[in-house]
Structure 1
Amino acid sequence: MPVANPLADLIAEKGVLLADGATGTNLFAMGLEAGDAPELWNEDQPEKIRKLHRDFVDAGSDIILTNSFGGTRHRLKLHHAQDRVFDLNKRAAEIAREIADAAPRKVIVAGSVGPTGELLIPLGALSYEAAVEAFVEQMEGLKAGGADVAWIETMSSGDEIKAACEAANKVGMPYTYTASFDTAGKTMMGIHPKDIHGLEGDVSEKPVAVGANCGVGASDILSSLLDMTAAKPGAAIIVKGNCGIPEFRGSEIYYSGTPPLMAEYARLAVDAGATIIGGCCGTACDHLKAMREAIDTHKKGEKPSLEAIVEKVGPFRNKTAGTGEDTPQRERRGGRRKG
């Protein structure tokens, strides 16, 4: 029996969807301390998580991500909470579900699933089977809490993406996955944007969408988007880029993006073929409101050139990831936790 797929249904209805903004950045603004686990706030500070989701919905988001990015046992053990995986993830989904159900329009609850933080064999000690097991444990909680889709994100390893996709199939959830192309235009483990398709492997249910999130800035994620759409025209692609370029000011990270810049990013993303557009680190509700208006009022145009991207949202910070015939040509120029 096919898995119910509200996300695919909403894509079919609306064409282009707006995802939400930064979880970590906004929770830090609400008082989360560096080094604390945001997931514990699902039980300790649920009213703040509700407010974050509600603010994202009010700003126009079609998709809200649960506060569960670090919700595997491997992440939670750093906070002595590895025995609370199911409950914390279930609570994360329940809070988001409550806000989505109260919204005046259809809002998708996406169960955020980040990397385990462990390296898989042979580079590390985590077996593929153990990774699948950890993701299953997390996704069972998210599904029980009412998440519509497993939102696998900020990945760098193809094996870990495959393990998370296998887990989603085992749990019976539709899913998406995104990687972070933040190392010379590739992921830390060497995945090129054009190779993002098909990393789920031989599973019965394929992803609703794949794509990129986080990274180093709007220009670079748009360049990755051109690679991804060229590799598989017509595929549903996610871009959830950081709000401008992250810069240290003293001990604090500051993001340079303004609402007008993020609106321009959203228009360029539509032109470049994105299906789901959102913001990652640094993206607040003012940025999302500008992106919502941009998506609603923009008529899709020609795919932008790399020169047009630089002109409108600033220079690339990644070095070129490749210059093959199947890769958009770039100038050779130089220049975690999901926020």
Structure 2
Amino acid sequence: MNNPIDALLAEKGILLADGATGTNLFAMGLQAGEAPELLNESAPDTIASLHQGFVDAGADIILTNSFGGTRHRLKLHKAEGRVFDLNKRAAEIARSVADKAGRKVIVAGSVGPTGELLVPLGAMTYEDAVDAFAEQIEGLKAGGAEVAWIETMSAPGEIRAAAEAAIRVGLPYTYTGSFDTAGRTMMGLLPKDIHDVVDGLEQRPVGVGANCGVGASDILASLLDMTEARPEATVIVKGNCGIPEFHGSEITYSGTPELMSDYVRLAVDSGAKIIGGCCGTSFAHLAAMRKALDTHTKESRPTLETIVGRIGPLRNKAAQENSAEAGEGRRSRRRERA
């Protein structure tokens, strides 16, 4: 498989991925309850404008507007029969923007969770999940996506199913988990174990990491665990723009361009190779992040205390702290039984 990520990393060292899709589309007119993927057909100029804003801000990687593009998510909008066409159109729009950038911009096909639980917790079999993801990725590949970008995942089995689908379709792939539950994913995956999820599959990922979650400090804590576990890996971090806050019925994010710039510097120092923004990250945030990346010289690896001191407090316990407490609890119970 052609691997555009390694090729661009060899040229640039560290890559900047784009920012938020949903947050920015809401600012551009998306209504609550509306499927963003439908805008690929009804408002393609809006989606092109989204991608153009991130390219202008300096993104090396743009993600297609296809996060909820499986049949399971699209059936909520009576569009489950349009999976291939909507995903193909998503990739075509991103491809048209990337191709006129005047520099290499990678088009990554966004693949989010199905919203279903795998057997035995739910009704979806592993084989059904692979088929659903393959249907989506076929459309993304046909539209010009170069990489399957599997993101915001919680269940290791669903990550593996999406990875197997990408291999079946013939696209290189990355995957990222959302470590938003006491330093783990909702289904219990630890950051340090992210590398091992697809062991035994025919093709390895071209990048793994974390996205979304809670806030910048929390995702940087996860990053430390991932890069410590496998320092040679291409690790992705795509954190939310500060902390989500409700103002009336609207959600805003507390992160300033200055905070996100420092997040970039700490991510570089912590060993990330691909850095971007998730929820709340605007074009202005990403432009500041580009400048920070271009002007920063890698420094010594930060401690968790350094991250908290510069970015702000953790909203969750760090994974290793949580694991240590769990281990102590088990030891205490053993002592009591003895």
- TM (norm. structure 2) is 0.95
Secondary structure in 2 aligned to 1:191?
coil
Q: Shift of residue 201 of structure 1?
A: 2.9
What is the one-letter code of the residue matched to 2:189? Answer: I
Structure 1: where are the runs of 5+ without partners? 328-339
Q: Shift of residue 321 of structure 1?
A: 2.1
Query: Equivalent residues in 2 for 1:61-72 (5 A)?
Result: 61-72=59-70
Residue from 244, 247, 254 that aligns with 2:245: 247
Secondary structure in 1 aligned to 2:83?
helix
2:287 alignment counterpart: 289
Q: Shift of residue 104 of structure 1?
A: 1.4
What is the one-letter code of the residue matched to 1:168? Answer: A
Q: Per-residue CA shift, 1:174-203, capped at 9, x if unaligned?
A: 000000000111000000101100212322
What is the one-letter code of the residue matched to 2:311? Answer: V
Q: Shift of residue 326 of structure 1?
A: 10
1:233 alignment counterpart: 231
1:210 alignment counterpart: 208
Distance 1:243 1:284 in 2: 9
Residue from 47, 50, 55 that aligns with 2:48: 50
What is the one-letter code of the residue matched to 1:191? Answer: L
1:7–1:148 CA contact under 8 A, matched in 2: no
Distance 2:316 2:48 in 1: 36
Residue from 262, 271, 274 that aligns with 2:272: 274
What is the one-letter code of the residue matched to 2:197? Answer: L
Aligned-residue RMSD, C-alpha: 1.3
Larger radius of gyration: 2
Distance 2:196 2:170 in 1: 19
Residue from 176, 179, 182 that aligns with 2:177: 179
1:75 alignment counterpart: 73
Question: Could you say which structure has the higher helix fraction?
Answer: 2
What is the one-letter code of the residue matched to 1:302? Answer: S
Distance 2:145 2:188 in 1: 31
1:333 alignment counterpart: none
Residue from 16, 19, 35 that aligns with 2:17: 19
Distance 1:326 1:225 in 2: 18
Secondary structure in 1 aligned to 2:59?
coil
1:147 alignment counterpart: 145
Q: Shift of residue 324 of structure 1?
A: 8.7
What is the one-letter code of the residue matched to 1:179? Answer: G
Distance 1:228 1:289 in 2: 26
Distance 1:214 1:162 in 2: 19
1:92 alignment counterpart: 90
Q: Shift of residue 325 of structure 1?
A: 9.7
Distance 1:156 1:224 in 2: 14
2:197 alignment counterpart: 199
Q: Per-residue CA shift, 1:3-51, capped at 9, x if unaligned?
A: 1111221112111000000000000001101111000000000000000
- TM (norm. structure 1) is 0.94
Secondary structure in 1 aligned to 2:26?
helix
- Going from structure 1 to structure 2, the CA distance change for 1:215 and 1:324 (only over 3 Å counts) comes to closer
- Going from structure 1 to structure 2, the CA distance change for 1:90 and 1:194 (only over 3 Å counts) comes to same
Q: Shift of residue 205 of structure 1?
A: 1.3
User: What's the % identity of the aligned pairs?
Assistant: 71
1:231–1:326 CA contact under 8 A, matched in 2: no
1:213–1:239 CA contact under 8 A, matched in 2: yes
Distance 1:325 1:128 in 2: 29
2:220 alignment counterpart: 222
What is the one-letter code of the residue matched to 2:134? Answer: V
Distance 1:234 1:320 in 2: 22
Distance 1:19 1:218 in 2: 15
Distance 2:184 2:245 in 1: 21
- Going from structure 1 to structure 2, the CA distance change for 1:324 and 1:116 (only over 3 Å counts) comes to closer
1:337 alignment counterpart: none
Distance 1:76 1:167 in 2: 18
2:329 alignment counterpart: none
Distance 2:153 2:322 in 1: 24
1:264 aligns with 2:262: yes
Q: Shift of residue 251 of structure 1?
A: 1.1
Secondary structure in 2 aligned to 1:292?
helix
1:230–1:326 CA contact under 8 A, matched in 2: no
Distance 1:156 1:46 in 2: 30
2:168 alignment counterpart: 170
Distance 2:267 2:5 in 1: 19
Corresponding pairs, count: 325
Structure 2: where are the runs of 5+ without partners? 326-338
Q: Shift of residue 161 of structure 1?
A: 0.2
Q: Per-residue CA shift, 1:192-223, capped at 9, x if unaligned?
A: 10110021232221100000000000000000
Secondary structure in 2 aligned to 1:322?
helix
What is the one-letter code of the residue matched to 1:108? Answer: I
